[in-house]
Amino acid sequence: MCHINIYKCPNLGLMEYLKHPDFLVKLGENIRKIRLEKDISQEELSFRTEISRNQIGRIERGEINTGISTIYELSIGLEVSVSKIFEF
């Protein structure tokens, strides 16, 4: 079993390599909740942030462990503080 590089283990699911998957799902759900409360589509958020719609979807589903710079860009696109994104 590979423990370091996901690309060396193509037959295993991504979730096996994410630390704290429950946290990532809650984070993604909160981002989606904020986005929907503001009536912003994934496409619009993608336009505002220059983050692909596919990546936004993966973040919202908790499929990837995104970087803090991406969280910052999402906060700008959603017009909320970074701390608001972590309020769940």
How does pLDDT run across 5-58, given as a tens digit for each residue?
Answer: 343 344 445 445 678 899 999 999 999 999 999 999 999 999 999 999 999 999
Closest by CA position to 74, among listed 62, 14, 44, 25: 44
4 found inside a domain: no
47 found inside a domain: yes
How does pLDDT run across 68-84, given as a tens digit for each residue?
Answer: 999 999 999 999 999 99
- The pLDDT of residue 10 is 47
Q: How far apart are CA 58 and CA 66, in angstroms?
A: 9
5 found inside a domain: no
8 found inside a domain: no
Closest by CA position to 30, among listed 54, 60, 74, 53: 60
Say what the pTM is.
0.80
Domain that holds residue 49: 14-85
67 found inside a domain: yes
Which CATH number characterizes residue 61's domain?
A: 1.10.260.40
Count of domains in the chain? 1
